[in-house]
Amino acid sequence: MRILVTGKNGQLGKSLHKLVSEKKYDNEFIFVGREEVDLSNNNSIINYFDNHDNHDKFDIIINCAAYTAVNKAEEEQELANQVNHLAVKQLAGIAKEQKARLIHISTDYVFDGTGNNPYKETDKTNPINIYGETKLAGEQALKEIMPANAMIIRTSWLYSEFGNNFVKTMLRLSKERDEINVVSDQIGSPTYATDLAGAILEIIKSKEFREENQTTQIYHYSNEGEINWYEFAKEIFELADIHCAVKPITTKQYPTPAKRPKNTLMNKAKIAKTFSVGIPDWKESLNTCITILKEQ
Ligand SMILES: NC(=O)c1ccc[n+]([C@@H]2O[C@H](COP(=O)([O-])OP(=O)(O)OC[C@H]3O[C@@H](n4cnc5c(N)ncnc54)[C@H](OP(=O)(O)O)[C@@H]3O)[C@@H](O)[C@H]2O)c1
């Protein structure tokens, strides 16, 4: 199978690349970034797929690329909408035409965070910021164009040894400050990008995924466990053996351009049951990531 992965320079793209490079896979993976396919530009997308070099069709397209700057999206609404919505619509059209499966990554920020129970895939969406709105619009466009043969995986609080994320920010700040204030009234589950990448590779191998003409489905995937950002920061320093005081503060005390949902814990039963993918505990995976970061 020929598998195209977009967003090769992002956290998830790099984590997929890491796993694919470590193990032998029968499939051919082609990783592309902004240089090859610019999702903010319709013509760039058309050109890439029309290009003679890429003439061979893809069997699976995994869209890991996204406009992920949550605060900046409040100002750059048009760009965020182009990358997270219109480009996804275009990719879905191409995937359908090529008879390729499309695996698209979405976010817990499609929810408003007011629920008391972990969100199920069928729960009502109601994004409270532009990033969430554009990601939801992408999901909806994908489902409309590809009612079959696609999959949306919503994830949350993604971190890895690559790129920018909360774990790396905390480690950097601990070198600059003795005390860090972190919000303690936003609840969710972190997701180690390697775990999500591993789950995607497991899904691709499964016979459930390969069955033709299956209705497009949404799945939730994060690590196991329920925490707030303050607890996350404390555990990062604990595991990294760093002495830095962490002070819990409220969201009100830390205003940001984009509103953040209070509780986006997700129910992962559907993905676990359908594909038997592993869902490691957040602390275990955080420890793995910190160990890798310490060795760098
Ligand atoms: N990060 C999180 O906490 C989080 C939480 C929930 C869901 N998600 C979702 O998970 C997926 C993966 O996230 P991630 O953390 O791996 O994101 P990331 O590290 O920010 O990577 C996103 C990638 O998309 C690429 N991209 C942005 N604009 C592009 C454009 N116009 N054309 C082509 N490529 C473009 C970026 O390219 P450059 O490297 O060139 O900028 C980057 O490599 C995304 O769908 C995201 O919405 C993330």
* 218-237 residue pLDDT tens: 999 999 999 999 999 999 99
Q: Is the minimum distance from the CB of 161 to ligand 1 under 6 angstroms?
A: no
SS3 224: strand
Q: Between these two residues, 166 and 56, which has the higher pLDDT value?
A: 166
Query: Which atom of ligand 1 is least distant from the CA of 39?
Result: 32
Q: Which of 4, 6, 34, 139 to mutate to test the pocket of ligand 1 (most atoms within 8 A of CB)?
A: 34
The alpha carbon of 64 and the centre of ligand 1 are apart by a number of angstroms equal to 6
The alpha carbon of 243 and the centre of ligand 1 are apart by a number of angstroms equal to 31
Ligand 1: residue whose CA is nearest its atom 1: 158
Q: Please report how the helices 166-176 and 282-295 are oriented relative to each other, as an axis angle in degrees rounded to 10.
A: 60
Q: Are 214 and 150 in contact (CB under 8 A)?
A: no
Q: What's the pLDDT score for residue 212?
A: 86
Residue 126's contacts (CB-CB under 8 Å, 6 or more residues apart) are: 110, 111, 112
* 240-287 residue pLDDT tens: 999 999 999 999 999 999 999 999 999 999 999 999 999 999 999 999
Q: What's the pLDDT score for residue 52?
A: 56
Q: Is the minimum distance from the CB of 64 to ligand 1 under 6 angstroms?
A: yes
Q: Which of 71, 83, 152, 158 to mutate to test the pocket of ligand 1 (most atoms within 8 A of CB)?
A: 158
Catalogue the active-site residues: 131
Q: Are 60 and 26 in contact (CB under 8 A)?
A: no
Q: In Å, what is the CA distance from 50 to each residue of 54, 92, 150, 155, 192?
A: 7, 15, 22, 31, 35
Residue 212 tokens, joined: 């033709």
Residue 258's contacts (CB-CB under 8 Å, 6 or more residues apart) are: 70, 71, 73, 74, 129, 130, 131
Query: Which atom of ligand 1 is least distant from the CA of 108?
Result: 6
Q: What's the pLDDT score for residue 25?
A: 79
Q: What's the pLDDT score for residue 244?
A: 95
- Which of 218, 21, 228, 28 has the alpha carbon at shortest distance from 119? 218
- Give the span between the Cα atoms of 183 and 157, in whole angstroms: 14
* 32-69 residue pLDDT tens: 999 999 999 999 999 999 875 656 789 999 999 999 99
Q: What's the pLDDT score for residue 55?
A: 61
* 172-217 residue pLDDT tens: 999 999 999 999 999 999 999 999 999 999 999 999 998 888 999 9
* 8-41 residue pLDDT tens: 999 999 999 999 999 877 899 999 999 999 999 9
- Give the span between the Cα atoms of 45 and 100, in whole angstroms: 16
- Which of 105, 205, 84 has the alpha carbon at shortest distance from 156? 105
Q: Which residues make beta-bridge pairs with 2?
A: 28
- For the chain, give the percent of residues with pLDDT over 70: 99
Q: Which residues make beta-bridge pairs with 138?
A: none
Q: How much is the pTM?
A: 0.97
What are the start-end ranges of the H helices in the chain? 11-22, 42-50, 77-81, 87-98, 130-145, 166-176, 193-205, 207-210, 229-240, 269-275, 282-295
* 90-133 residue pLDDT tens: 999 999 999 999 999 999 999 999 999 999 999 999 999 999 99
Q: Is the minimum distance from the CB of 7 to ligand 1 under 6 angstroms?
A: yes
Q: What's the pLDDT score for residue 69?
A: 98
Q: Is the minimum distance from the CB of 194 to ligand 1 under 6 angstroms?
A: no
Q: Is the minimum distance from the CB of 9 to ligand 1 under 6 angstroms?
A: yes
Q: Which residues make beta-bridge pairs with 154?
A: 106, 220
